[in-house]
Amino acid sequence: MISASRPSARTVIWLLVGLVSVTFVGANAHLVYVAIASQPACVEHIKEKGQQPMEFRAAAAAC
C-alpha cells in the first residue's frame, strides 16, 4: 500500500505567503493600471457655489 505524504506545515505556510503576496501585487498593479488608463472626459459639474448644504463643485475645472 502506498501512503500519501502530506506537505509539511512549513510548506503550507510558504505557499500561503506566496499566494497572499501574488494577490497583493496583482491588486496593486490593477489599481495602478486603472489609474493610468482611465482618463474621464469632461463631465457637467457645478461651476458656482451651490445653494444647498453638501452641494460641492470641482476644486479646479479641467475643461
Kindly report, residue by residue over 15-58, the tens digit of the pLDDT.
999 999 999 999 999 999 998 888 666 666 656 666 677 666 66
Q: How far apart are CA 17 and CA 39, in angstroms?
A: 35
57 close to 47: Cβ distance less than 8 angstroms: yes
Q: Tell me how far CA of residue 44 lies from CA of 13, 14, 49, in angstroms.
A: 51, 51, 14
Amino acid in the structure at residue 26: G
When pLDDT is cut at 50, 70 and 90, the band that residue 61 belongs to is low
Position with higher pLDDT, 48 vs 7: 7
Q: What is the DSSP letter of 16?
A: H
The whole-model pTM stands at 0.55
- Of the candidates 21, 32, 63, 31, which has an alpha carbon nearest to the alpha carbon of residue 45? 63
